[in-house]
Amino acid sequence: MNESAPIRGGNVVPTNNLEAFWMPFSANRQFKEAPRMFIGAKDMHYTTADGRQVLDGTAGLWCVNAGHCRPKITEAIAKQAAELDYAPAFQMGHPKAFELASRLAALAPTGLDHVFFTNSGSESVETALKIALAYHRVKGEGARFRLIGRERGYHGVNFGGISVGGIVGNRKMFGTLLTGVDHMRHTHDPVRNPYSDGEAEHGVELAEDLSRIATLHDPSTIAAVIVEPVAGSTGVLPPPKGYLKRLREICDQHGILLIFDEVITGYGRMGAAFAADHFGVTPDIIVSAKGLSNGVIPMGAVFVRDTIYEAFMQGPEHMIEFAHGYTYSGNPIASAAALATLDTYREEGLFERAKALTPVWADAIQSLKGTRHVIDIRTTGLIGAVELEPIPGQPTKRAFSAFLKAYEKGLLIRTTGDIIALSPPLIISEDQIGEIVDTLKMVLNDVE
């Protein structure tokens, strides 16, 4: 694949040199030896460069909730690009960003009425952490500088996110990170909660970590705690029963803001608009991205309680209230894509569809119990995890082999450590759920 064009002006101009692109979160050398390229997509399938159809078991990267190349969304993007391609995001506006924010506020849990736009989950996380710190400061509680995360949490890749995040591999290379951060223990407990469906039976007591940490540091120094309602990237860890509610209580007791990172659980994945609705626990801030624009155009949104927004709306009116924002916050084309995405979700009843499919999905994925290498399975909403026994001395190798084999057999899965994670578009059919299970059985019987 490394062929080069003729020499032009003394330089060799590469025509298709795989070396130039430093791929994110990828085994670059392995990929470039045997590239896996998608060149098209429609609904539930990708088309590969060699003309094969691959069933999308992961909604791209947990983002294509409405399925691929949906007409309403592609048309909205084309129309917007021709009409108003860009408008400055600072001190200027355009109607679609306001319309989108209003639609989102109506979709979000009651009280989370204000929306700050970003371009990704990572930026949404940074934005939420900064809002939390600044909120306490504008209220005269500047001593609240600490942020609490959780082991095995994933909050994107920027410095705030990796600081509150709990994935060692994502943190260890990057120096001192943010100071004033502490972590609760994770809730992964397959011994007490084997083959769990929905909320885990055991582990509510782990929420008391927040009390302990608050007591250790003095609660009046803590600004916020951030958790994924269902931890996704470290292998799908549904919360123990009562856990999120208890976090809410402890936060209320100590004036700590509760942030839910709903980058993967938002926009229907749990069979409701947000996991907050599904679990019946309302945080103070919701971080979202991915499914917001169906993954088609980068976009994120941070929802805040009206009391938080109002706390900033003080002082002289010509002054900027919050010194934060991105060139592309509320970008017109992204806003148009997100509006069309929300229309598609509503018109096709996709959140309700996900809810109705949840038990079918759970039964199907849980039926992999007993398959070779499988040591645990977790299902919740339209999310599943199949945990494999690692090859001794070679962690992650078995799951990676399963990923390659599944791709060969026409199924896209994702792996993290030795865990296979599944999160299909919400338009998946029951037959396609069956196909995922059958393919995984074949794959697991094939891999070493």
Residues that bind ligand PLP (CB under 6 A): 120-122, 125, 154-156, 228, 232-233, 261, 263-264, 289
Total residue length of the chain:
448
For ligand PLP, the closer of residues 228 and 387 by Cβ is 228
DSSP secondary structure code for residue 389 in this structure: P
For ligand PLP, the closer of residues 153 and 271 by Cβ is 153
Q: Cβ of 217: how many Cβ atoms within 10 Å?
A: 14
In the bound complex, which residue of the shown chain has the CB atom lying closest to ligand PLP? 121
- Angle at the Cα of 73 from the Cα atoms of 325 and 92, rounded to 5 degrees: 30
CB 345 within 8 A of CB 268: yes
Spatial neighbors of 20 by CB under 8 A, at least 6 apart, are 14
Tokens in use for 244?
């999120």
CB 132 within 8 A of CB 317: no
In one-letter notation, the amino acid at residue 390 is P
Q: How far is the CB of 287 from ligand PLP (least distance, A)?
A: 7
Spatial neighbors of 169 by CB under 8 A, at least 6 apart, are none
Q: How far is the CB of 372 from ligand PLP (least distance, A)?
A: 29
The residue whose two tokens read 């208890």 is 246
In one-letter notation, the amino acid at residue 59 is A
Q: How far is the CB of 234 from ligand PLP (least distance, A)?
A: 10
Q: How far is the CB of 406 from ligand PLP (least distance, A)?
A: 20
Q: How many CA atoms lie within 13 A of 265 on its CB side?
A: 29
In one-letter notation, the amino acid at residue 73 is I
For ligand PLP, the closer of residues 128 and 447 by Cβ is 128
Spatial neighbors of 62 by CB under 8 A, at least 6 apart, are 232, 263, 264, 269, 290, 291, 423
Tell me how far CA of residue 46 lies from CA of 10, 166, 292, in angstroms: 40, 32, 21
For ligand PLP, the closer of residues 154 and 267 by Cβ is 154
For ligand PLP, the closer of residues 167 and 444 by Cβ is 167
For residues 409 and 403, give the distance between their C-alpha atoms in angstroms, rounded to a whole number: 10
Q: How far is the CB of 370 from ligand PLP (least distance, A)?
A: 30
For ligand PLP, the closer of residues 289 and 374 by Cβ is 289
Q: How far is the CB of 154 from ligand PLP (least distance, A)?
A: 5
For residues 375 and 384, give the distance between their C-alpha atoms in angstroms, rounded to a whole number: 14
For ligand PLP, the closer of residues 213 and 289 by Cβ is 289
Closest Cα partner for 154 from 237, 218, 277, 212? 237
DSSP annotation string for 400-438: HHHHHHHHHTTEE-EEETTEEEE---TT--HHHHHHHHH
For ligand PLP, the closer of residues 60 and 219 by Cβ is 60
Q: How far is the CB of 192 from ligand PLP (least distance, A)?
A: 24
For ligand PLP, the closer of residues 196 and 293 by Cβ is 293
Q: How far is the CB of 122 from ligand PLP (least distance, A)?
A: 3
For ligand PLP, the closer of residues 288 and 432 by Cβ is 288
Q: How far is the CB of 1 from ligand PLP (least distance, A)?
A: 27
For ligand PLP, the closer of residues 214 and 338 by Cβ is 338
- For residue 125, give the 3-state DSSP assignment: helix
Q: How far is the CB of 53 from ligand PLP (least distance, A)?
A: 25
Q: How far is the CB of 155 from ligand PLP (least distance, A)?
A: 5
